[in-house]
Structure 1
Amino acid sequence: MFQSLANSMKIPELRNRILFTLGMIVVFRIGTHIPTPGVDAAMLTQNLPSSELFSFLNMFSGGALRRFSVFALGIAPYINASIIMQLLVYVIPYLEHLAKEEGEEGRKRISQYTRYGTVLIGALQAFGISFMLERYQVVPHPGWPFKIMAVITLTAGTAFIMWLGEQMTTHGIGNGISILITAGILASLPEAIAHQLALFTGSAEDVVKTILLLIVVVVVIMAIVTVQDGVRKIPVQYAKRVVGRRVYGGQNTFIPLRVNQAGVIPVIFASSILLFPSMIANWIQSLESMQDWIKNPIVFWVLNIFHYNSYTYLFLYAVLIIFFTYFYTAITFNIQELSDNMKKYGGFIPGIRAGRPTVDYLERTLSRITLAGGIFLAVVAVIPNLLINLMNVQFYFGGTALLIVVGVAMDTMRQLESHLVTRHYEGFMKKKGLR
């Protein structure tokens, strides 16, 4: 591994990409420590809630939410805008035309609309948070001037994070947005470990629970690594073609269908979708003026559905993960285009006729693999949280954090590997030299 890193640093382009990615992470971490004007930091530490939901949100922002820095909103507005835009592509004919017919130019325009949506959602969330801060009495001078300043500052912070992520994707290694989320989770790890040690009493029950949780973490990490590398190989043969005096084709190859084609994107999307109603439910339940209204059985039931880490929340979370696994796989893996390219170059799947039968076969196969991958993501994301609930303990690395950190690390390593392979260097994932 260290030799591979040394080899990658010998390649100017790859070295620049790695250093650029690290530099952007440093900029992101600096931003999480720049306070938002108008907020009393001392009162903020004392008065902010310490619920599971708040801890989860703070983890994704890399501690920026607890410090209420200019990056307090994190990348959530961008993720929500991306989900909405990708869904609208299938609903609005104009957007569908841009995505399918306009090529690169159409994708650029959709990306621009996503940026506009990010700013709008960020502004709305910042406005809501400014009210929350005033309610927790951490604003020395509350009022509209503070609200306007908070909206401008937090929205600008979110827009800057979005720009950082895009630049990292273009000029760095890996998916910039996912790397920033991972960086935020890992940055909160030392504080979480200290908090976990403070809760540890040394009793026999605590020791048993800690050992069980550590075993679960190790097993989950091993499962993620195994499934992320899982591939279904669809054999493809190319017919021989004679052009002039030369013979082309005739070789055998395969189509690699990954078990988890969508990576960690479904987990990020599902958690972002559920966080908003969870925040609303948590906020309503904390208001003294709402206590009589909350006693209504129907209202109480609705609020509990979206209560973070409740059983209904975890069930909805699992369903959304499976849905987004199918959704994201469908928009990133074009089976019709793959079939057309195979037919164009004389390729075929043994026993399957070219054309529509090939498309049907690939769709059936991909659907089964995607279902398995979606169920795996849902189980890994939910089971650790379920065990934490059953054992009544607080634990930092739930299934969501583990999936994101391990998944993003593997995706980044895989991309680095592809760069190394093209330059005939030994990569991370192979022990033998590449020829």
Structure 2
Amino acid sequence: MIQTLRNAWKVPELKSKILFTIFALLIFRFGSAIPVPFINTEGLTNYINSMSGTIFGLLGTMNGTAFSIAAVFALGVQPYINSSIIIQLLTVAIPALERLQKEGGEEGRKKIAAITRYVTVAIALLQGFGYYTIIRTNNLLALGGMNGIWGGIVIVATFAAGSAFVMWLGEQITDKGIGNGISIILFAGILSRMPTMITELYTGVSNWAHHVDTSDFTEQQLKNFFVLPPWGLVLIIAGMLAMILFVVWIQNAERRIPVQYAKRVVGRKMYGGQSSHIPLKVNMSGVLPIIFAQSIASLPATIAAFAGVQAGDEGFWGSFLRVFDANGAVYTVVYFLLILAFSYFYSTMQFDPTEVANNLKKNGGFVPGFRPGKPTADFIHKVLNKITFFGAMFLSVIAIAPIVTGGIIGMQNLAIGGTSVIIVVGVALETSKALEAQLMMRHYKGFLE
């Protein structure tokens, strides 16, 4: 990957794209450090840290440090991701949207993109109001002379405007920069939390080495106190390295279906008679199942925010949040199933076996051992289901393994860290492949050389 970056830096056009991406990320990080007015940021940071084992802590990690200080970009790309999920599901369910996507061409795609943006703003207003409710319920407002209603309007509007700007920034990176802009921004937000996680690991080992006396600690201090033995640190590092290797392997793995083209005579020339293959990636959707599963898993926290409760409260909503704790069994099972479901959903959206079989038949191609048409489509569909299941199972197991490991060693944030590694590695691989593809386009010499 480093060599790819060096080669890309030598190409003026790619160099400008890389610089544009870096500049856009600097703007994103700058906006992630500017707090929204009328909020006690110090008290909010302590509250978010105390909720590190819940989905509130998970949202903080996915959106970077901006979430814990209620920055302008606190909501990050979550509203856009949720909007994309909703629109894609509606595209399958509503025939009018499906026709717009398949038959509308470029104009149809623009209309769907516009609908996605409007839904993003609506979701951002909803999530911003939920976040404001959490802040107000925990007495973390610092309105001063500002009227409560107007102060709330300013806070929610700022959150929504920040989310809309991040969405626009991601689209600009996609058009003028390198890779998928939304994934790149999510990548930057996650990396911003890495120093905090490294510091926490160091503190845990230090506490174990010095045998800190916790007899005088309060209940809250005991909850935040973390002890990590050296063997636990070795286990975490080994697990992260193994996870990176697995993700790289899955991202690059593919099943090749052989294709033979029949010979045919057109005029005085003979065409066909050659062999090829159909490459089916084991994980066609990349990191999208992980990202979307995280977004859906955060919905319970958004719903509970309207009730103004915490995970430690009594009653229905308190129990509701405790059930969906990021280290709990229910959350683990739901997370596992969501990754499986989204893996199948995106493989179905991206690859149509019937269409591929029809194209092969039109061009005189066939899969050895299967008749053209429906038998070929059925065979490709069967193969696609098998490899999608294999890739989805690997991603699911890798995603929940840190949750189980964190429960064993008593580290709550490990579940979040494991998910972050999967997303970071996946986005890095996708961006590297995008650079390599653009380098190949510019360095292809053709038959003239």
Q: Same fold (TM over 0.5)?
A: yes
What letter corresponds to residue 32 of structure 2 in structure 1? T
Change (3 A) 1:373 1:226: same
- State the distance in 2 between where 1:3 and 1:269 align: 31
| TM-aligned CA deviation for residue 49 of structure 1 | 4.7
Q: 2:388 aligned with 1:370, yes or no?
A: yes
Instruction: Give the equivalent residue in structure 2 for 1:190.
Output: 195
- State the distance in 2 between where 1:410 and 1:382 align: 21
- State the distance in 2 between where 1:391 and 1:44 align: 28
Matches for 1:214-233 after TM superposition, within 5 Å: 214-233=237-256
Contact residue 38 and residue 140 of structure 1 kept, 8 A: yes
Higher deviation after alignment, 133-142 or 171-180: 133-142
Contact residue 77 and residue 121 of structure 1 kept, 8 A: yes
Instruction: Give the equivalent residue in structure 2 for 1:180.
Output: 185
Instruction: Give the equivalent residue in structure 1 for 2:421.
Output: 402
| TM-aligned CA deviation for residue 161 of structure 1 | 0.7
Change (3 A) 1:302 1:5: closer
Contact residue 385 and residue 398 of structure 1 kept, 8 A: no
Q: Unpaired segments of 5 or more residues in structure 2? A: 212-227
Q: Deviations over 1:226-261 (max 9, x none)?
A: 111111011112223333333323221111101111
| TM-aligned CA deviation for residue 317 of structure 1 | 0.5
Q: Deviations over 1:31-87 (max 9, x none)?
A: 101221222334434454522233321111121011211001111111111111111
SS of equivalent to 1:140: coil
- State the distance in 2 between where 1:99 and 1:197 align: 50
What letter corresponds to residue 80 of structure 1 in structure 2? N
Q: Deviations over 1:190-216 (max 9, x none)?
A: 122123222322449611111111111
- State the distance in 2 between where 1:49 and 1:227 align: 34
Instruction: Give the equivalent residue in structure 1 for 2:296.
Output: 273
- State the distance in 2 between where 1:2 and 1:378 align: 29
Contact residue 281 and residue 307 of structure 1 kept, 8 A: no
| TM-aligned CA deviation for residue 303 of structure 1 | 4.4
Candidates 119, 127, 134, aligned match of 2:136: 134
- State the distance in 2 between where 1:44 and 1:417 align: 43
Instruction: Give the equivalent residue in structure 2 for 1:57.
Output: 59
Instruction: Give the equivalent residue in structure 2 for 1:26.
Output: 26
| TM-aligned CA deviation for residue 305 of structure 1 | 3.2
| TM-aligned CA deviation for residue 224 of structure 1 | 1.1
| TM-aligned CA deviation for residue 284 of structure 1 | 5.8
Q: Deviations over 1:281-300 (max 9, x none)?
A: 58765289x62x34xxxx77
Cα root mean square deviation, aligned: 2.3
- State the distance in 2 between where 1:395 and 1:410 align: 24
What letter corresponds to residue 123 of structure 1 in structure 2? L
Change (3 A) 1:133 1:301: closer
Q: 2:399 aligned with 1:381, yes or no?
A: yes
Instruction: Give the equivalent residue in structure 2 for 1:319.
Output: 337
SS of equivalent to 1:122: helix
| Percent pairwise identity | 43
Instruction: Give the equivalent residue in structure 2 for 1:91.
Output: 93
- State the distance in 2 between where 1:231 and 1:101 align: 30
Candidates 354, 377, 398, aligned match of 1:336: 354
Higher deviation after alignment, 163-172 or 394-403: 394-403
Instruction: Give the equivalent residue in structure 1 for 2:174.
Output: 169
- State the distance in 2 between where 1:222 and 1:216 align: 10
- State the distance in 2 between where 1:147 and 1:278 align: 20
Q: 2:10 aligned with 1:10, yes or no?
A: yes
Candidates 150, 153, 167, aligned match of 2:158: 153
Change (3 A) 1:149 1:135: same
What letter corresponds to residue 396 of structure 2 in structure 1? A
Q: TM-score, normalised by structure 1?
A: 0.90
Contact residue 233 and residue 254 of structure 1 kept, 8 A: yes
| TM-aligned CA deviation for residue 159 of structure 1 | 0.6
Candidates 237, 240, 257, aligned match of 1:234: 257
What letter corresponds to residue 419 of structure 2 in structure 1? T
Q: TM-score, normalised by structure 2?
A: 0.88
Q: 2:328 aligned with 1:307, yes or no?
A: no
- State the distance in 2 between where 1:7 and 1:132 align: 48
Contact residue 48 and residue 136 of structure 1 kept, 8 A: no
SS of equivalent to 2:369: coil
- State the distance in 2 between where 1:175 and 1:185 align: 16
Q: Deviations over 1:322-376 (max 9, x none)?
A: 0000001111123233222222222211111111111111111001110111111
Contact residue 137 and residue 308 of structure 2 kept, 8 A: no
Instruction: Give the equivalent residue in structure 1 for 2:310.
Output: 286
Higher deviation after alignment, 203-212 or 341-350: 203-212
